[in-house]
Structure 1
Amino acid sequence: MTPQDFIAKWGAPGGVPGPAYALNEEQGAQSHFLDLCELLGVPKPGSSEGYRFEEKSTVIGGKTGYADVFMRGVFAWENKAPGKNLDTALKQLLTYSLALSNPPILVVSDRLTIRIHTQFTGHPSATHEVRIAEMDQPANLALLRRIWTAPESFKPQQTNRDITEAAAQSFAALAEGLRQRGATPGESIASQQQRANQVAHFLTQCLFCFFAEDVGLLPGRMFERLVNNKQATPERLTQGLTQLFGTMQSGGLYGVDDIPWFNGGLFQTIAVPPLSAPDLTELRRAADLNWSAIDVSIFGTLFERGLDPAKRSQLGAHYTDPATIERLIDPVIRRPLLQKWELIAQQIQALAAKIAKKGDRHYRAAHALFITWLDELKNYRALDPACGSGNFLYLALKCLKDVEHHSHLQAAELGLDREADLVTGPHNVLGIELNEYAAELARVTVWIGELQWRLAHGYEFKTNPVLDTLEHIECRDALLVNIFTPPRTNPVHRTQCQRQLGRAPMWSSATRRFWATAK
């Protein structure tokens, strides 16, 4: 098949629909894909193990979905009829990919446009698009062919860590400039600290706004448009930011846009410092970054060093990498929970073998076992008594969500309906931190980590509010009050979980460990 043949059959060259143009989604999905394979000279489904049409998966809410085409470890593909919403198709495919081991390439097509989305671990997502009218261009054919012949070539060179380090450097320069420009001769140390706190809080609000708009929580790239408004004076921008933060605090209209209720405490205090032309330049530079791809596992540490004047000299210093933290999380949280789940899964499997129809007593018993397991995950608590800027808390939360995700998939394979949503969330992690900058960043780290995880796994963002209040990440000295004596030296201790878990052992950052508790 030549490009011209393909365009004439599936497109509408010159406004004249081809013979296959009017086929509905079901009629056209497989024949379109087979013609595309013919055009590109690549293998067709069924030619190798793990490469097939109609890959079944159980998705959120107990429904069954099908990826139109699936090549294990490479791509999942969703075809729609002409004119259908490809953003909705991507969301649908992302939901299916939960049970497909998350292939690194997701492709959606309405037969008039083929859109390639990448999701390589540790790299920002990238999008490539080819329209049917451009299918006669060799470069576009080569791009599509690479999905089969060189999928790794779609991996972006920049990593999430690169983006996070660049963002931290940008905000460090902005924080330093704001602190210096607000200084007055003979200013007291208390006044300097107050101004530094105001600057840090304002920039923390800004960085969350950059992230929120890059994941679609703020409509129409609102924050970027606001800081990029070349007609706005620093005074007008200060006013605009104050109004936006106030709207995010409680939700409502900002201009013609409807802003969600964010809550969480991040926008409880609003005090935008006076901005200058250099500040606007730095904010605009920061707006160009892909904030949806920041690496949450190192984000808190890097931003703490930039926002806290006492730690600015450490900005380029070494930080504890996620792999080191995982050496604590794996034996303390992941392995014990997975071992317990495997025992429960065996009981569910035994009951599932006896199920005659959905809803019978064996099904109800299996479902009750699963709900009891979910209740245990919901009530699980991981405490870091010297949590810093939240790197440990985020990775502990991610571990819990990964364990729950794994159990949902296995329960679905055993015949149980998928639950509508997850039970794990920010409430599962508790933190105590003496440094005010770090404590606030720990909360933001957990918020962003939760939102990133939901986005990557096909779950809707929660609303009303978007952010849970994180009062259980406290800014105080863990050694001030001896509420209870820590139990045996085993790092996992199960007891009644109180809001304050008491005195922490004097662990160094290198030997910090979790007290993980469950109600």
Structure 2
Amino acid sequence: MTPDQFIAKWKAVELKERSAAQSHFIDLCHMLDEPAPTDADPTGAWYAFERGATKTTGGEGWADVWKRDHFGWEYKGKRKDLNAAFAQLQQYALALENPPLLVVCDMDRFRIHTNWTNSVSEVHEFTLDDLRDPNIRQRLKWAFSDPERLKPGKTRQALTEEAAAEFATLAQRLRDRGHAPADVAHFINRLVFCMFAEDADLLPKKMFLRMLEAAKIDPSQFQRHASTLFSAMKDGGLVGFEPVEWFNGGLFDDGDSLDLEAEDVAICLKAANLDWSEIDPSIFGTLFVRGLDPNKRSETGSEYTDREKIMMIIDPVITRPLTREWERVRIKISAAVDLAQRRLEEEIENAATFPELEQEVRVVRSHLVERPQLELFEALPKQRRVRNLDAVRASLRSADKALVEAQAQADVELKAFQARLRAFRVLDPACGSGNFLYLALVELKNIERRVAVEAELLGFSRSFPSIGPEALLGIEINPYAAELARVSVWIGEIQWMRRNGFNVGRKPILKPLQNIECRNAIINENRTHAAWPRADVIVGNPPYLGAKLMKRRLGVAETEAIRALYEGRLPGFTDLVCYWFERARELIESGQVARAGLVATNSIRKNTNLPVMHRIAASTRIFEAWNEEQWTVDGAAVDVSLICFGESEGVEARLNGAVVTAINPDLTSGLNMTLAKALVENKNGAYLGIQKSGPFDVSGELARTWMGEPTNPNGRNNSEVLKPYWNGDDVTGRPRDMWFIDFPLGLSKAEASLYVSPFNHVATTPDEDGKTIEQLRQALGERAGPRWWEPHWPRPDMRSKIVRLRRYIVTPETSQHRLFVWLSYPVLPDKNLIVIPREDDLMFGLLHSRFHEAWALRKGSDLEDRPRYTHTSTFATFPFPEGMTPNVSALEARQLPAAKAIEEAARELDDRRRAWLNPENRIECIPEIATGFPDRFVPVDAEAARELSRRTLTALYNEKPTWLVEVHSKLDAAVARAYGWSPDITTEEALSRLFEFNQTRASSTSDLPELVVD
């Protein structure tokens, strides 16, 4: 059929929808050279006419034509309301498997609505006459064969970011003019919602845009007009002669408005011309709170969580459990009704042979519901035909009564589950700008809609969505973020209703949301536990503030009060996020909450944070987790763990998307290394370096300047209080040439001040907040130490060990590769170095073996992509070979047969690496300006400097040249022999044996002597 033939035929046809729809569609397929449903899929499994519940309910079906992954298509009679047809498709999009296109047609007009989840929706509209245009026909053909060609280019996220950027600029301009941050935030929230309401057809005739256009001519009128509009939205009223709906909900509680200048109006106009109906509430709140709130929650470490990551919590905690519940209910009620219906069908067949029962059979047959799509049973076995009329009548009536009772009971079961859904409550106790709450609401409404659609297939009548924002409970300490969370939920609720073809509820449009509270979620003003509202599940993204920053950010009093509340349950030095996990665990254990799904930095599974995970694993069950997920926020990589725990009977545990037997507290499966214990034999075998917490480090250039100054008033040189200073970067990269101001411990302030230049530097150099070290220490309280001219943790025990040694071993706390190197006093190690006070090659070789490295990877935590080594959980638990443990002197350990090969391989490794790092023909040694310090290696020329800058241990281990692999293989083989293992033992087998050694030694050893330093 040619386009002209198709157009001519269907312009002349005036048949009603039911008579013409299929014929029109078949002709359209022929014109486009596309197969019709009956040609391509006679079974109707993926391409069909009359998709849906038409025969079940007696009403209209879901779609007149449906093609899986392509479209749902609904017809109306000529010149009928296509909006009504579109609304029907929206209502049943879920049942139609969410096709990417929703098409409506009245035989004269075609509208293709795009329906991709995260794309801005577009509408392609054309008429019969337009089909002469080959471009139009091509667009229509894509709907049949390649719908991706119609996918809009702009995502909802891009639209949202664009809108947020405009308002961030406006907010800054308003704050710069002296308006209070809270007033600016509230005003911006109103503007945002007005723009959304206008594009969602809740404000009449582009009223807000017209108001902005008027203000463009005379900006001085904006405040008066906006106040009039806001007042009308408070209770419903008139703006001029135009009625405005009742909105309020707390957002429009008065008519207050800020004044705008011409440039401000221009910004608003630019924003207003975006399609706000497509804004994405799952991210828009966080984007706005960053741009508008001068006290952003990022100061406490909270970050924007993208939609995909949020759903990795929402799905296992909310969606899947409720869906499983519904499946059980659906099968139960379907099975009962099907059984009763099959019995009645048998009795009808039997009774139909009796003319006397013709009327009764006709009545009873009308009670049957045709349910072809949900048949669960084969037809019941044929019963022997009964010839007695009275017996047949009795059986027929009995079967009819049984069906009525089964249907009534099914109705009770269905309504009970629907009531369960309506009563379901989701709590986010750190809800920020509401992204978790919004997506939780969307999922609850999707589940409710699925239940309604599938109930239709079971013969029940259609139902209207009833779940709303009352299902959401939130706690947020930031007033602006709390209000923005309410705005996000309101917008999300309205969007869902519109996208699914339902009218938005009125009177008021914005239901009050006092269930999103603005307060502290962990501690009350009277320093007791803050109550959390009763909920079925808990989800969220609590603040990530690290333990060492809590006093600085929260204040000393609040930090100590929180820690006191959880004393005996959590360590005193634990990250802030752990208190949310412990509170959720406690509510699950007491039966007040079923499940929780929370986000944390991945450090929650290690070290001082691990106890909260042990408590969760002991009192409930971790049923789903992602131990390390990464995404980018403001250009920075953030590593998080997503953890779901609580009620999960019959649910397989899943770790990183894979089914596992169980999930350990450290979010691993299999060998539970969290049970490894500190070994007495390793006591005092490793230490932390110096934690300076102040301006104690200076460049080598400045240190040499001070060492060259005249002697001080005490007659002493500054070199006495200066020492070379290494941190992790000096190990993994090139030495930075940093020095440390190291006043002898116990020196009075007066005595320290006699070293004039170093003392003045410590006393006057401000931190990033402009505070001197004395001011900072005072703010942090006495525990930080009143002797501010000394490092926060000077580590005298560690110093007493390394000062007696020719050299000592260090490893970076965090590094891409587990590296060990030698340092020599007076070089001092920073806190970012773990210090092993041994000078023997044997210990160096044991530490650099692949067995110790594997243990460190499993027992340590990590920072971004850099594994973290700790002296407590890693070194303290590692089972060294018998006779080579840290409490055995090096002299004694070296007598063992396996020791020599380890020492030789260790020396070779160190020699080869040193030679590669500092080739003799590229460096020269320069003595320090003062005696007693190690010589410096410097490049011989500029070319050598460029070459050496590329020679770092990280670069070497990234490249892994053959010589490095060979020497490590030699070392690993020697260490394996010390354990009595084959050199080719697998890493997993080695870890398993090491764990057994740990458990055996931890349970059988008594107090052993402290480390002996040879």
TM over 0.5: yes
2:225 equivalent to 1:240:
yes
Which amino acid in the other structure matches residue 456 of structure 1?
R
Please tell me whether residue 259 in structure 1 is matched to residue 244 in structure 2. Answer: yes
In structure 2, which of residues 407, 410, 414 is the aligned counterpart of residue 366 of structure 1?
410
Change (3 A) 1:230 1:395: closer
Contact 2:425-2:473 within 8 A present in 1 as well: yes
Match of 1:422 in 2: 465
- Following superposition, the deviation at residue 243 of structure 1 comes to 1.2
Written as runs of structure 1 = structure 2, the 5 A alignment for 1:424-463 is: 424-463=467-506
| RMSD, matched Cα | 3.0
Q: Return the offset for 1:464.
A: 1.1
The answer to whether the Cα contact below 8 Å between 1:58 and 1:64 also exists between their aligned partners in 2 is yes
In structure 1, give the amino acid aligned to 2:480.
Answer: Y
Q: Which residue of 2 aligns with 1:9?
A: 9
Q: Does 1:472 align with 2:515?
A: yes
Say yes or no: does 1:410 pair with 2:447.
no
Give 1:132 shift: 1.9
- Equivalent residues in 2 for 1:329-340, closer than 5 Å: 329-340=314-325
Shift of 1:4: 2.3
AA at the equivalent of 1:216: D
**Which residue of 184, 193, 201 maps to 2:186?**
201
Query: 2:172 & 2:515 partners in 1: Cα distance?
Result: 30
Q: C-alpha separation between the residues in 2 aligned to 1:389 and 1:452?
A: 17
Residues 1:342 and 1:492: Cα distance change in structure 2 (over 3 Å) = farther
Query: Shift of residue 286 of structure 1?
Result: 0.3
Provide the rounded CA distance (Å) in 2 between the counterparts of 1:369 and 1:516.
26
The 1:95/1:9 distance shift into structure 2, 3 A limit, reads: same
SS at match of 2:425: strand
Deviations 1:283-311 (A, max 9, x none): 01101111111121111110111111233
Q: Which digits, 9 at most, give the CA deviation of each residue in 1:173-192, with x for residues without a partner?
A: 11111221x22xxxxxxxx5
AA aligned opposite 2:404:
D
1:312-357 Cα deviation digits (max 9, x unpaired): 999xx96211222223223322233222222222221222212563
Contact 1:433/1:476 (CA < 8 Å) preserved in 2? yes
Alignment of 1:377-416 (within 5 A): 377-416=421-460
Report whether the alignment pairs 1:169 with 2:213: no
**Amino acid of the structure 2 residue aligned with 1:29:** A
The separation in 2 between residues aligned to 1:73 and 1:95, in whole angstroms, is: 17
For 2:6, give the aligned amino acid: F
Q: Deviations over 1:414-465 (max 9, x none)?
A: 222232x233211111111111110001101111111112222222211111
Q: Secondary structure at the match of 1:100?
A: coil
From 115, 121, 136, give the equivalent of 1:119.
Answer: 115
Kindly tell me: are residues 323 and 301 of structure 1, through their superposed partners in 2, closer, same or farther at Cα, counting changes over 3 Å? same
Residue 19 (structure 2) pairs with residue 27 (structure 1): yes
Match of 2:260 among 275, 285, 303: 275
Q: 1:307, 1:145 → 2: CA distance?
A: 46
- Indicate conservation of the 8 Å contact 1:164/1:295, yes or no: yes
The normalised TM-score by structure 2 is: 0.45
Q: CA deviation at 1:490?
A: 6.8
1:300 counterpart SS class: helix
**1:143-158 pair list within 5 angstroms:** 143-158=139-154
The residue identity in structure 2 corresponding to 1:169 is: A
CA contact 1:105–1:119 (8 Å) conserved in 2: yes
The CA deviation string for residues 17-68 of structure 1, in whole angstroms up to 9 with x for no partner, is xx32x22222322222222222222222222232222222379x99442422
| Equivalence for 1:76 | 72
How far apart, in 1, do the equivalents of 2:156 and 2:100 lie? 15
**Kept after mapping to 2: 8 A contact 1:66/1:96:** yes
Q: 1:484 to 1:509 in 2, by over 3 A?
A: farther
Kindly report which structure 2 residues correspond to 1:488-503, keeping only aligned pairs within 5 A, or say none.
Answer: 488-489=585-586, 491=588, 494-495=591-592
Inter-CA distance 121–299: structure 2 relative to 1 (3 Å threshold): same
Q: Which residue matches 1:189?
A: none
Identify the range of structure 1 (161-170 vs 369-378) with the bigger mean alpha-carbon deviation.
Answer: 369-378
Q: CA deviation at 1:514?
A: 9.2
Inter-partner Cα distance in structure 2 for 1:345 and 1:25: 34
User: Quick one: which amino acid aligns to residue 48 of structure 1?
Assistant: A
The alignment's TM-score, normalised by the length of structure 1, stands at 0.86
Of 79, 83, 90 in structure 2, the residue corresponding to residue 87 of structure 1 is: 83
SS in 1 for 2:53: strand
- Equivalent residue number for residue 285 of structure 1: 270
Letter in 2 for 1:369: E
Cα gap change, 1:263/1:32 in structure 2, threshold over 3 Å: closer, same or farther?
same
CA distance 1:26–1:63, change in 2 (3 Å): closer
Are positions 1:100 and 2:96 aligned together?
yes
Deviation of 1:483 (Å):
5.8
1:49-68 → structure 2 map (5 Å cutoff): 49=41, 50-57=46-53, 63-68=59-64
> 2: CA distance between counterparts of 1:312 and 1:172?
16
**1:235 Cα offset (Å):** 2.2
Instruction: Give 1:27's aligned amino acid.
Output: S
Q: Give the aligned length.
A: 487
3-state SS of the aligned residue for 1:108?
Answer: strand
Flag the structure with more relative contact order, 1 or 2, with Cα contacts below 8 A and sequence separation at least 6.
1
Question: 1:458 aligns to what SS in structure 2?
Answer: coil
Secondary structure of the residue aligned to 2:184 is helix
Describe the SS at the equivalent of 1:135: helix
Q: Distance in 1 between matches of 2:593 and 2:246?
A: 33
Aligned to 2:292: 307
The residue type paired with residue 500 of structure 2 is H
Q: Deviations over 1:142-163 (max 9, x none)?
A: 1211111221111111101101
**Cα distance 1:490–1:346, how it changes in 2: closer, same or farther (>3 A)?**
farther
d(CA) in 2 for partners of 1:198, 1:473: 20
- 1:315-354 correspondence to structure 2 within 5 Å: 319-353=304-338, 354=340
- How has the CA–CA distance of structure 1 residues 291 and 112 changed in structure 2, closer, same or farther, with 3 Å as cutoff? same
The percentage of aligned residue pairs carrying the same residue is 42
Structure 1 unaligned regions, length at least 5: 12-18, 184-191, 498-505
Q: 1:208 to 1:513 in 2, by over 3 A?
A: farther
Question: Secondary structure of the equivalent of 1:117?
Answer: strand
User: SS state of the match for residue 387, structure 1?
Assistant: coil
SS of the aligned residue for 1:200 comes to: helix
Q: Which moved more, 1:368-377 or 1:329-338?
A: 329-338
Q: Which moved more, 1:91-100 or 1:374-383?
A: 91-100
1:482 aligned to 2:529? Answer: yes
